[in-house]
Structures are given as C-alpha cells and as structure tokens.
Amino acid sequence: MTRGQVRRRLAVAWWKYLALALVPLFVLNGLFGQGEGILPVLAMPMFIAGVASMFVSLKFFGRYKHALIATQKALDTPDEPAAWIALAAQRRNAFLAAALPAWIGALAVFVGLEAVPLMLLALSTAVLFYLYRIPRQLG
C-alpha cells in the first residue's frame, strides 16, 4: 500500500470516528431532548464532567505525538509499514478519549442538559479530534 493510500484510509477513518463520537449526542438529543430531565439537578455536574473529560485526552495525545514522530523517522525505511500501523493504533485509542465529552453530553441529555452546553461538548470533541489529523508534512 502506498503512503498516499495509507493517508487516505486514515482520513476516512478520522471522519468515521468523528461521526461515531457525535452521532449518539445528536440522536439522543433529538429523541429525548424535548422532555424533562430525570434529575435536573445533575445537569451542571454532568456538564462539568464533560468539560473535565477533555483532560483525559492529554495522556493519549502525548502517545499519539510520539507515534507521529516515530512514523516521521521511519519514512522511506523498511519499518515504515509497522510505524503506520502503530500510529493508527495510538490514534484509535486517542479517539476514544477524545470522544468522552460528546458521550458524556449524550448521557446528560437524560438529566436535562440544555442545548448550548451540549453544543459546547460536541464542539470540544470536534476540536480534540482535529488534533488527531495526520499532518501534511507526514508523507
């Protein structure tokens, strides 16, 4: 597989994981967002937990960054395919951490979290996902 094909696959995977992270939030909000929350007093703590979950991504971003540097060093060597695989694996793990704000927001729909905080959690997930794009310099 050529470097361009690998980059294309990783780009398509990025969009798939972003959709996997955001679709539950929008679907649950569309289905259950109009009713009253089960425990409205938990809305603010859920929002704070969603915002705080952004910091979980820090550890994963460090690992991703190191895998990115290793992939850059492995370009045009026999270790290049293994480096791309390791990068993709680190990136998948990082996507799970980056999706936490939106997933917590999806759960917060049931406690009555309003639309603006939900959009902020969705936006924070999108920004975290943007950090995991493959840079142009790689390849």
d(CA 40, CA 95): 29
Block residue for tokens 């952004």? 54
Q: pTM, whole model, 2 decimals?
A: 0.91
Q: What is the pLDDT of residues 121-139, one digit of tens each?
A: 999 999 999 999 999 887 6
CA-based nearest residue to 103, from 128, 135, 130, 133: 128
Work out the pLDDT band at 37, boundaries 50, 70, 90.
confident
Residue with tokens 């009713």: 35
Question: Among 127, 134, 121, 14, which residue's Cα sits nearest to residue 75?
Answer: 134
Angle (CA) 74-75-79 rounded to 5° is 45
